[in-house]
Amino acid sequence: MENSSDFEKNTPIVPIVVIVGPTSIGKSKVAMDIAQLFNGAIVNADSRQVYKYMDIGTAKPSKADMEIVDHYLFDVVDPNEEYNVARFLADARQSIITIDESGQLPLITGGTGQYIFGLIDGYRTPAVPPNPSFRADMIKKAEEEGSMALWKELNLSDPVSASKIDYRNIRRVIRALEVSNEIGKPFSETRQRESTSYDEIVIGLYMDREHLYSRIDARIDAMIVHGWPEEVRKLLDMGFTEDLSSMSSLGYREIASYIKGQDALESVVSKIKSLTHRFARQQYTWLRPKSRNINWVDVSDVHFMSDIKFKIERHLSKFDLAV
């Protein structure tokens, strides 16, 4: 078996561009522009855009964009299938190999930081399949005792994982407990780091928070107009229920409550906007400690794309790939 030094000597280094930032800031548009400037192909790193039939509410790229630039890891699984970090890492690594062998530049973008930094940091995670019985027991416990009870259980057995997971994120708490239960050791001890064959530049997009909130609200209003409620209605008619992991995507369960006549559309939209504002704050909080690795760019600056182009050209110059 190769050790890490053998890996570094024998494996060709692949340059990649990574684009991060909060929801609604324009990552997809920036990725499209970069792809066309540098002969790139886009790899999705958003845990919700992997699901089929969930296009409007997850803000997937348009069919027109997908015809102009090659896109990978969109519409990978049905909404009732499981998709996790381990599967993403395997799929993304294979996608990068395919893109690189085709002579294109891999561009990784999406809102799931766990996916992105797991990839560039070289994490290997066990591919533990879901255990429906275990999950049902944990969900029942959360319903009866509250989500904090689950988190406390995780904290007792694996304080390292518990310190990194919000107690309100029941899905992630249950997954950590599930993996630990399956392999017999703390979830935090299952993640191993290895050397990677990537030389990445990470571009972080930011703007004034109030301006971002306005963008979020405008995008949600546009999603409603463009048929988000009809998309959710179709999913429900196809038999995809609100308890699925895929339906925990921002807004889907809220719109389902409107479809079922439980809430008015106006109150649902207001709630989705509020939840999305909070999610954007959480994304910034998660990214900030990694700021030493991120080249931050203010997208409010009229010349921000020139700044991004310059940074990428400088990064690629050592590979003779810059335009």
Q: Are residues 40 and 153 in the same domain?
A: no
Q: Report pLDDT for 318.
A: 81
Q: Is the pLDDT of residue 145 over 70?
A: yes
Confidence bin at 193 (pLDDT 50/70/90): low
Q: Is the pLDDT of residue 254 over 50?
A: yes
Q: Report pLDDT for 7.
A: 41
| Three-state DSSP string of the chain | CCCHHHHHHHCCCEEEEEEECCCCCCHHHHHHHHHHHHCEEEEECCCCCCECCCCCCCCCCCHHHHHHCCEECCCCECCCCCCCHHHHHHHHHHHHHHHHHCCCEEEEECCCHHHHHHHHCCEECCCCCCCHHHHHHHHHHHHHHCHHHHHHHHHHHCHHHHCCCCCCCHHHHHHHHHHHHHHCCCHHHCCEECCCCEEEEEEEEECCHHHHHHHHHHHHHHHHHCCHHHHHHHHHHCCCCCCCHHHHCCCHHHHHHHHCCCCCHHHHHHHHHHHHHHHHHHHHHHHHHHHHHEEEEECCCCCHHHHHHHHHHHHHHHHCCCC
Q: Report pLDDT for 280.
A: 94
212 located within any domain: yes
Q: Are residues 147 and 105 in the same domain?
A: no
Q: Are residues 175 and 222 in the same domain?
A: no
* 195 CB-near residues (< 8 Å, 6+ apart): 4, 7, 8, 11, 122
Q: Are residues 148 and 269 in the same domain?
A: no
Q: What is the CATH number of the domain that holds 109?
A: 3.40.50.300
* Domain closes at, from 189, 210, 237: 189
Confidence bin at 319 (pLDDT 50/70/90): confident
Q: What is the pLDDT of residues 212-245, one digit of tens each?
A: 999 999 999 999 999 999 999 999 999 999 989 8
2 located within any domain: no
Q: Are residues 73 and 221 in the same domain?
A: yes
Confidence bin at 320 (pLDDT 50/70/90): low
Mean pLDDT over 66-74 rounds to 97
Q: 320 or 248, which is more confident?
A: 248
Q: Report pLDDT for 211.
A: 96
Q: Are residues 241 and 115 in the same domain?
A: yes
Of all residues in the chain, what percent carry a pLDDT higher than 90? Answer: 62
Q: Are residues 181 and 55 in the same domain?
A: no
Domain residues for the domain of 70 are 8-125+192-319
Q: Are residues 107 and 248 in the same domain?
A: yes
* Domain closes at, from 140, 168, 189: 189
Q: Is the pLDDT of residue 139 over 50?
A: yes
Q: Are residues 160 and 21 in the same domain?
A: no
Q: What is the pLDDT of residues 166-177, one digit of tens each?
A: 887 888 888 888
Q: 184 or 112, which is more confident?
A: 112
Q: What is the CATH number of the domain that holds 154?
A: 1.10.20.140
Q: What is the pLDDT of residues 153-168, one digit of tens each?
A: 888 888 888 887 888 7
205 located within any domain: yes
Q: What is the pLDDT of residues 180-191, one digit of tens each?
A: 887 777 777 666
Q: Are residues 201 and 308 in the same domain?
A: yes
3 located within any domain: no
The region of weakest confidence among 59-63, 121-125, 286-290, 311-315 is 286-290
Q: Are residues 141 and 18 in the same domain?
A: no
Q: Is the pLDDT of residue 297 over 80?
A: yes
Number of domains the chain is built from: 2
Q: Are residues 26 and 144 in the same domain?
A: no
161 located within any domain: yes
